[in-house]
Amino acid sequence: MTIISTHFKQKNALRGFKSALWGILLCSLLFSQAMAATYKVNTKEAYEKARSKVVAGDTIVLKNGVWRDFEILFEGQGTVDKPITLTAETKGKVIISGLSNLRLSGEHLIVSGLVFKHGHTPTSAVISYQKDKHNLANNSRVTDTVIDNFSNPERYEVDYWVAIYGKNNRFDHNHLEGKSNKGVTLAVRLNTPQSQQNNHRIDHNYFGPRSVLGSNGGETLRVGTSHYSLTNSFTVVENNYFDRCDGELEIISNKAGNNVIRGNVFYQSRGTLTLRHGNDTLVENNVFFGNGADHTGGIRVINKRQTIKNNYLEGLAGYRFGGALVIMNGVPNSKINRYHQVEDSVVENNTLVNSDHIQLAAGSDFERSAVPIRTHFKRNLIQATNNNDPFTIYDDISGITFDDNVINNHSELQIKTGFTQQAFELTRADNGLLYPNNNPQNLESVGVSRSIKPIKKTDVGVSWYPKPNEFITFDHGKRITVKPGLDTIHQALEQAKDGDVLILNAGEYAMSRILVLNKAVTLAAKVAGEAKITFQRTALFEIHEGGNLKLDGVVISGAESPDSSGNSVIRTQRKSMLSNYQLIVKNSRIVDLDINHSFNFLSVFKGTFADRIEILDSHFKDVTGAILSLSQENDDYGIYNAEYVVIKNSSFSHVGGDLVDYYRGGTDESTFGPHFNMSGSTLINVGLGKRNKSKSAITLHGVQVTTIENNKITNSLPLRVFHTVGEPVTKIQSNIFTNTPVIEVQELYSDQENTANLADNLYQSKK
Ligand code: CA
C-alpha cells in the first residue's frame, strides 16, 4: 500500500510542472512487479534517459504522436521472466517518421505497437536486431508493428526494412507494406557465428503489396546469403500472408540450411518461393493462389535433401524459373554462389490446379548440366487446364523417381510411369481449397491433406491498421467538366483528386505551364477528336511521385511548343521515383511534334519505372524524335524503364526516331520483364531521322517477352531485337513489311541459335 500511495503522490507532484518536466514518469504497477518501472516518455531526450536506466522487467512507453527523425537504440539485458519492453501509449498512435530507425541490442527485449511511415531509414535497415557487428539482440521480439511505405526515395538505393541477427529472435504479427526501393524487405543474416543456427521464428506477419521493382533486389524475404549457405539457420517462417509481393523473381529466397517454411499463404504474388542455396529445408502446408495473374509462381527447388510436401498451388500462370513447381539443374562442382545439384529431395502430396508449368531439369545449359538425382516425386495430384501436359522436361530426368501421382486425362503425357491418368472433378472445401469430388478411394492419399487450414489475411499482421484491397488506378473519382481556354486544364487539375476524370468540351486548350501529375487523372474529350491541346513549354505533362495519366479522345499538337530540341509531350520527373506509373493513350491523335529535332512523345529519366504503357486506337503523325523512349537505364545492371508496353490498332507516320526504344542491359536473370506487345498497327516512314542512333524503327534490347503480330510496316527502318539472358520469348509473326528491311534478331550472350519465332512475315517492295 505504501508503494502505491507514494506513487500517486509522485504522479500528482509531477503533474504540476509537466511542461517543464518531460523527463521520466516512474510508476510501479503491481505488487508483484514492485521493482519493475514504467517510463513514459515524449521526447528523444527522455527516451535516452529512460533507456540508460532500464533493467530487467522495465517498460518504456512512447507517448502518442509523431516522432520525427528518431533513431531508436533499444538496449538492455532482460530475462525470460522479466523482459524489457518498448511500446506505444496506444498501439498505432505512435508514428515514427522522417529519418528514423530502430536497433535492438541485448537480451529479452520486446518491441510492440509502433508505426514507421512518412520517412525512411538513414542506415541500412529500418529495424535491425543489432546495434553494431559486436552487439546483437538475442531472445528478442518485435511484434504488432507496422512499416508502411518507409522507402528510401532513391529507387535503387539498397536497404532492408528488417534485418534479423543474433539467435532465438522472433518477428511476428507485423504489417509490412509498400517497400518500393531496392533491397530485401526482411532478411535473416548469418554473417557471423553469433547469428548462425539461430532458431528465429518469423510468423503471422502481413507482407503487403510490393510493386515490380524492375531490378534484382526486390525479394520479400531472404534467409542467409550464398556465402554462408552451407551453414544451418534453423529459421522457421510460418503462417505469414504474402499479398501481391511482386518485387522480382523470388518472393522468398532461402539461402541457408535446415529452415522450415510452413503454412504461409501466397496471394497473387509474382515469383516463387526459391530454395536458392543451402540444404535440408522443409516446405510444407503452404498455399499459393495465383488467380491467373502474370508470373505468379510456386516453388523452385535447388540443392540437397529438400522436402516439398503438402503444398497447394492453384491458378499459377508463371513459367520457366517462375513456374508452379521447378526442379533445377545444377552446375557440376558448383561454386557457392551458382547452382548446386538437386539430390535426395522429395516432392510429395502436393496439389496443383490450373498451374500448368512444372519444369524439370530447368535451366539446363552448357554450365548447368548436373541433372537432379535420387529425387522422388510422389502422390502429387495434378489437374491441368486444356488437357495439356503440364511438364516441361529440359534434360535427363532419370534421376527423379515418379510414384503414385494422379493427373487428369491427357492424350499424351511425356512421363510414362508413376502417374495414373484419370478424370476427376474438384469442389472447393470449407478451407478454400479444391479437392476431388466424392473422394474416390484411390485419391485419398494423393495431393494435399484435407486438414490443412490456410491462414487468413485477417489473422495476420495487426488488427488496428487497415490492409489494402484491390488497386484501381483510373476513373474511380468524380467527373469534372473543363471549358476550352488558356490553362483551364491546369486549374481543373489543381482541384482534381486521385481517380478523377476531366471531361474536355469541344475547343482549343492552350497550356502556358507544365501539367504536373502527382495523382491518377484521366483527360477525356466529350466528343472524341474535338478537344485539342497545345502547349508552350518543353513538355505538356510531367509525371511525379503518384502520377498516372490516361488520355481518351484528345488531340495534342506540338505546334506551339518552344522552337528548341528535345521537347516531349509527356516526361517523368528528373529525379528517381518510387511509385510505378501507368500511361494509357486511347482514341487520341498526336500531331506536329516536329517544331525542332528530337521531339519525343514520352521521355523518361533514370530511376523511373512504368508498370504499364498502352497506346490503343491512336494516331501519331510528324514526330522528329521517338514515340516511347525507354532506354535511360544504360548501366547494364538489369534495370529498365517499363514493365509492359502494349500498342494496338494504332498508326505512326513520319516518326524520325524509334517507335519504341526499349532497353534492359546486362545479364541478370531476376526480372520477368520487360514485355512488349504490338498488334494491328501501321508504321509508315518510321526511324529514318538522321539523329536516330539506333538505325531502327523499333529497338528491343533484353526484352523478355515480345509479341509483334498483324502489323503493316512500310518505308521504315528494320525492327531490331537483341536477346540477352533468360530464354526470352519472342514471337514476330504475320506482319507485312513493305520496302522495309528484314527483322534482325541477335543473341548477345548465347552461342545457341536464336530462339525467336518469326513466322508468316511477308516482305514486299512497292513503288
Ligand atoms: Ca533475387
Q: Which of 580, 560, 584 is nearest to 570 (CA)?
A: 584
Q: Would you state the cell numbers that stand for residue 368, as one nine-digit string?
A: 548447368
What is the C-alpha separation between 116 and 43, in angstroms, rounded?
17
Q: Residue 252 C-alpha to ligand 1 middle, in angstroms?
A: 9
Q: Which of 35, 74, 17, 48 is nearest to 26 (CA)?
A: 35
Q: Which of 350, 234, 346, 348 is nearest to 287 (CA)?
A: 350
Q: Is the pLDDT of residue 2 over 70?
A: no
Q: Residue 267 C-alpha to ligand 1 middle, in angstroms?
A: 19
pLDDT at 1: 28
What is the C-alpha separation between 588 and 531, in angstroms, rounded?
10
pLDDT at 718: 97
Contact 175, 199 (CB under 8 A): no
Q: Is the pLDDT of residue 25 over 70?
A: no
| Arithmetic mean of pLDDT, 93-111 | 98
Q: Residue 116 C-alpha to ligand 1 middle, in angstroms?
A: 25
Q: Residue 245 C-alpha to ligand 1 middle, in angstroms?
A: 13
Q: Is the pLDDT of residue 5 over 60?
A: no
What is the C-alpha separation between 432 and 454, in angstroms, rounded?
8
Residue environment code for 647-661, b if the CB has 16+ CB neighbours within 10 A, otherwise e: bbbbbbbbbbbbbbb
Q: Is the pLDDT of residue 605 over 60?
A: yes
pLDDT at 223: 98
Per-residue pLDDT band at 443 (split at 50, 70, 90): confident
Beta-ladder partners of 154: none
| Arithmetic mean of pLDDT, 507-515 | 98
Q: Residue 229 C-alpha to ligand 1 middle, in angstroms?
A: 15
Three-state SS sequence of 213-241: CCCCCCCCEEEECHHHCCCECCCEEECCE
**410-414, 537-541, 597-601, 630-634: range with lowest mean pLDDT:** 410-414
Q: Residue 265 C-alpha to ligand 1 middle, in angstroms?
A: 20
Q: Residue 113 C-alpha to ligand 1 middle, in angstroms?
A: 31
Q: Residue 248 C-alpha to ligand 1 middle, in angstroms?
A: 7
Q: Residue 239 C-alpha to ligand 1 middle, in angstroms?
A: 23
Q: Residue 384 C-alpha to ligand 1 middle, in angstroms?
A: 29
Q: Which of 271, 269, 336, 341 is nearest to 306 (CA)?
A: 341
Q: Residue 612 C-alpha to ligand 1 middle, in angstroms?
A: 22
Q: Residue 595 C-alpha to ligand 1 middle, in angstroms?
A: 45
What is the C-alpha separation between 143 and 345, in angstroms, rounded?
35
Q: Is the pLDDT of residue 161 over 60?
A: yes
List pLDDT tens digits, range 321-348: 999 999 999 999 999 999 999 999 999 9
Q: Residue 256 C-alpha to ligand 1 middle, in angstroms?
A: 15
Q: Residue 293 C-alpha to ligand 1 middle, in angstroms?
A: 20
pLDDT at 14: 44
pLDDT at 19: 43
pLDDT at 34: 52
For the chain, the farthest-separated pair of C-alpha atoms sits apart, in whole angstroms, at: 107
Query: Exposed, middle or buried by CB within 10 Å (0-12, 13-18, 19+), for 135?
Result: middle
Q: Residue 177 C-alpha to ligand 1 middle, in angstroms?
A: 19
φ, ψ (nearest 5 deg) of residue 260: -125, 125
Q: Is the pLDDT of residue 410 over 80?
A: no
pLDDT at 385: 85
- Cα Rg, the chain, nearest whole Å: 29
Q: Residue 253 C-alpha to ligand 1 middle, in angstroms?
A: 7
Per-residue pLDDT band at 20 (split at 50, 70, 90): very low
Q: Is the pLDDT of residue 469 over 60?
A: yes
Element at 7 (helix H, strand E): helix 2-16
Residue for grid cell 529425387: 375
Q: Residue 237 C-alpha to ligand 1 middle, in angstroms?
A: 18
Q: Residue 158 C-alpha to ligand 1 middle, in angstroms?
A: 13
Q: Residue 334 C-alpha to ligand 1 middle, in angstroms?
A: 18
List pLDDT tens digits, range 337-392: 999 999 999 999 999 999 989 999 999 999 999 999 999 999 999 999 877 899 99
Q: Residue 122 C-alpha to ligand 1 middle, in angstroms?
A: 23
**297-301, 409-413, 443-447: range with lowest mean pLDDT:** 409-413
Task: For Cα atoms 466, 468, 469, give the angle at the middle one, nearest 5 degrees.
Answer: 125
Beta-ladder partners of 663: 701
Q: Is the pLDDT of residue 529 over 70?
A: yes
Residue for grid cell 522522417: 98
Q: Residue 568 C-alpha to ligand 1 middle, in angstroms?
A: 35
Per-residue pLDDT band at 185 (split at 50, 70, 90): very high
| Arithmetic mean of pLDDT, 488-494 | 98
Q: Residue 739 C-alpha to ligand 1 middle, in angstroms?
A: 44
| Arithmetic mean of pLDDT, 623-652 | 96
What is the C-alpha separation between 175 and 467, in angstroms, rounded?
8
Q: Kindly provide the residue ranges of all beta strands, DSSP E only, lying in 58-107, ordered along the sequence.
A: 59-62, 65-68, 71-77, 84-88, 94-99, 101-107
Q: Residue 405 C-alpha to ligand 1 middle, in angstroms?
A: 32
pTM as predicted: 0.93
Q: Is the pLDDT of residue 9 over 80?
A: no
Per-residue pLDDT band at 12 (split at 50, 70, 90): very low
Residue for grid cell 528517381: 576
Contact 641, 631 (CB under 8 A): yes
Q: Residue 194 C-alpha to ligand 1 middle, in angstroms?
A: 25
Q: Residue 369 C-alpha to ligand 1 middle, in angstroms?
A: 22
Element at 500 (helix H, strand E): strand 500-504
In DSSP notation, 641-686 reads: SEEEEEEES-EEEEESS-SEEEE--S--------EEEEES-EEEEE
Contact 177, 208 (CB under 8 A): yes
List pLDDT tens digits, range 70-98: 999 999 999 999 999 999 999 999 999 99
What is the C-alpha separation between 719 and 90, in angstroms, rounded?
61
Q: Residue 486 C-alpha to ligand 1 middle, in angstroms?
A: 49
Q: Residue 433 C-alpha to ligand 1 middle, in angstroms?
A: 30
Beta-ladder partners of 9: none
